[in-house]
Amino acid sequence: MAQGDSDMRKKPNILITGTPGTGKTTTASALAEATQFRHINIGDLVKEKNLHDGWDDQFDCYIINEDLVCDELEDIMEEGGNIVDYHGCDFFPERWFDQVVVLQTDNSVLYDRLSKRGYSETKISNNMECEIFQVLLEEAKESYPEGIVVALRSDSIDDITNNIATLTHWLTTWQNVP
């Protein structure tokens, strides 16, 4: 789907990214419900469709096969109306997204969320470092045009509610101007 192809989309696509524990799935699910867009949780998709190259014992997760994921999503993304939820963003084609949202969370809040998930200290430490050094925000800025990347706070239910309202407004006012 080249730039000309994205002009044919009737609805935009949004990527919601951020360190694990920042509220991506909560935000994406609520936004999908509010807008009737399709929520695509990449972690779930990888498990359901076997789009991985095995298990990483160190990080206690699947090693996703980025090519298989992109092949699986290509036609769906061309249609528009998708909210993609994943903690990475640099392997998705730039042309897929009209808005890239990087959720950010205060370190103390993030630590508590990750601990409650039962993450190992190594996994918590790795994710905390990613958040402290804003790894995913930098990845998004390097991978997508400056005008479509936005960072939003996600420390509380109020933040998530405000983010959903902001993104719902953006979705309803989006116009695909060639």
Mean pLDDT in the chain? Answer: 94
26 is in an annotated binding site: yes
- The amino acid that residue 146 corresponds to is E
Rounded Cα distance between 68 and 128, Å, is 29
Q: What per-residue confidence (pLDDT) applies to 80?
A: 97
Predicted confidence at residue 147, as pLDDT, reads: 94
User: Structure pTM?
Assistant: 0.93
What pLDDT score does 1 carry? 33
Residue 95 is labelled as binding a ligand: no
| pLDDT tens digits, 118-132 | 999 999 999 999 999
Q: Which CATH architecture has domain 13-173?
A: 3-Layer(aba) Sandwich (3.40)
- Domain borders along the chain are 13-173
pLDDT digits (tens, 9 = 90+) for 13-59: 999 999 999 999 999 999 999 999 999 999 999 999 999 999 998 88
Is 21 one of the annotated binding-site residues? Answer: yes
Please report the pLDDT score of residue 175 as a whole number.
Answer: 81
* Sheet architecture: strand order including 99-104: 38-41, 82-85, 13-18, 99-104, 149-153
Beta strands in the chain (DSSP E): 13-18, 38-41, 52-56, 61-64, 82-85, 99-104, 149-153
Whether residue 84 has pLDDT greater than 50: yes
Name 40's bridge partners.
84
- The mean per-residue pLDDT over the stretch 59-81 comes to 95
Residue percentage of the chain with pLDDT more than 70: 95
